[in-house]
């Protein structure tokens, strides 16, 4: 299915380079997370970034409301 879409001009005509670049970036992020899942890499992932950005604020808010975990 993935490769079917990449065949340039197969269905909807040729795409701009930025679309192809976005396709490659999305696949690269996917492979990066697959590597994290199989523990081939030990680097921060999608949810680590979210926890770093929003985790402390969220925890502070709900602890102020009496949440004990």
The yes or no reply on residue 67 touching other proteins (CB under 8 A) is yes
The yes or no reply on residue 14 touching other proteins (CB under 8 A) is no
d(CA 30, CA 43): 14
Judged by DSSP in three states, 7 sits in: coil
- CB contact at 8 A, 33 and 26: no
Residue selected from 9, 42, 44, 55 as contacting other proteins according to rule CB under 8 A: 55
Phi, then psi, of 55 in degrees rounded to 5? -60, -50
- CB contact at 8 A, 32 and 41: yes
Closest approach, Cβ 31 to other proteins, in A, equals 8
Q: Provide the binding-site residues for other proteins, judged by CB under 8 A.
A: 1-2, 4-6, 11-12, 15-16, 18-19, 22-23, 26-27, 29-30, 33-34, 36-37, 39, 45-47, 50-51, 53-55, 57-59, 61-62, 65-67, 69
């Amino acid at each position: 299915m993935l490769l079917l879409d990449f065949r340039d001009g197969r269905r909807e005509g040729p795409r701009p380079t930025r679309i192809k670049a976005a396709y490659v970036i999305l696949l690269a992020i996917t492979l990066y997370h697959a590597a994290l899942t199989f523990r081939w890499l030990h680097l921060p992932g999608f949810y680590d970034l979210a926890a770093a950005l929003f985790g402390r604020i969220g925890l502070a808010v709900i602890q102020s409301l009496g949440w004990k975990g």
